Amino acid sequence: MSSRHAQPIIAALTVLLRPLVRILLRHGIPCDVLSAVARRVYVRVAAEEFVLPGKKQTTSRVSILTGLTRKEVSRIMTTADVEDQKATDRYNRAARVITGWLRDKGFHDKAGDPLALPVEGKHASFTALVRCYSGDLVVRAMLDELLRVGAVCKTKDGRIRLQSRFYVPEQSETDKLQILGTDTADLIATIAHNLKDKDKAAPRFQRKVMYDNVPVEAVEEFQRLSADRAQAFLEGIDRRLSKRDRDVNPAVNGTDRKRVGIGVYYFEDDVQSSQPKD
C-alpha cells in the first residue's frame, strides 16, 4: 500500500467495522462471508468506477486494482450479486404513501389531520392514496405491509387509520437489516464525497453535535428533545422536497434524474472513566 493515507484509512475502517461485526456475529454470519462479500464489492467497484478514459476495463486491470487473481476476478464477474431490490422498492413505496397521506390535503379532514380512509373509493380512499403515491403496486399488498409493521390500523367500521408518521419496519428484522445497508451507504457516500478534492466538487452537508461527559440522568430528556426536533425538521424538509419530486408532481420540469435527501440519527454509548480510583 503506497498511499500516504493508508494508515488513517485502516484505523477508520477498524472503528467503522466494530458495530457492523457486532451485527454479523449476532446473526451468525462468520468472517469468511464478510470476506467474500468484500471481494465481490471490490471487483464490482473497480470494474465500474475505475475505468481509464477511452479504454475498456479489463480483467487484468481489475486484478491489479483489487489485488485479487485474474481467475478470482473472472469468477466474481460472472456471479450475480446478492441484492434485495424488492425490499428496497417496498421501503420506498411505503414511505411515499405515508408522506403523501400526511402532506396531501385531499386526504385530510377539516382540521388538516390525515383522514381515516375507506379502503375503496375514487377520491379520499386508501386505494386512491396508494395509486397516487405508489404507482402500480397492488393496493392489498401495500395495506398488508403497513398493517404488518404497525404503520396503520383498521377501525371498527373498516376504515384505515394512520398510526405512524414515518414508515419504520419495527416488526421485521429483515427489513431493519435492509435499512442498515441503504442508510449506512448514504452516510459513507457523503463522507467519501467530502474527502475528494474540494476544488472539483462542492462539499455535502455533514455535521454532528456530541458531548462525552453527560450524566445518565440527562440522557432521557435529550432523547425526547432530539426526537421531537428531528421529526419536525424532517417533516419540513419532506414538504419542501416533495414539491420538486416528479413522482409526486408530474408537472415539475427539469432534466435528468437525481436521488437527494438528508438523514438524522441519534447515537449513544458508554464512556470509560479516566479518573483515578481512590
Decide which of 8 and 210 is more confident: 210
Highest mean predicted confidence (pLDDT) among 86-90, 98-102, 203-207, 222-226: 222-226
267: pLDDT confidence band, cut at 50, 70 and 90?
very high
151: pLDDT confidence band, cut at 50, 70 and 90?
confident
Closest CA to 235 of 150, 106, 86, 114: 114
| DSSP letter assigned to residue 134 | S
* pLDDT score of 278: 46
Q: Which residues contact 184 (CB under 8 A, 6 or more apart)?
A: none
* pLDDT score of 79: 79
Is 276 a residue whose pLDDT tops 50? no
83: pLDDT confidence band, cut at 50, 70 and 90?
low
Is residue 133 within 8 A of residue 97, CB to CB? The reply is yes
Cell numbers found for residue 16 = 467503522
Is 89 a residue whose pLDDT tops 80? no
One-letter amino acid at 88 equals T
112: pLDDT confidence band, cut at 50, 70 and 90?
confident
Range 234-242, long-range pairs (CB < 8 A, 24+ positions): 234/166, 234/262, 234/264, 235/102, 235/165, 237/262, 238/99, 238/102, 238/103, 239/103, 242/99, 242/103
Q: Which residues contact 118 (CB under 8 A, 6 or more apart)?
A: 124, 125, 126, 158, 159, 160
Q: Whole-model pTM?
A: 0.64
Is residue 187 within 8 A of residue 261, CB to CB? The reply is no
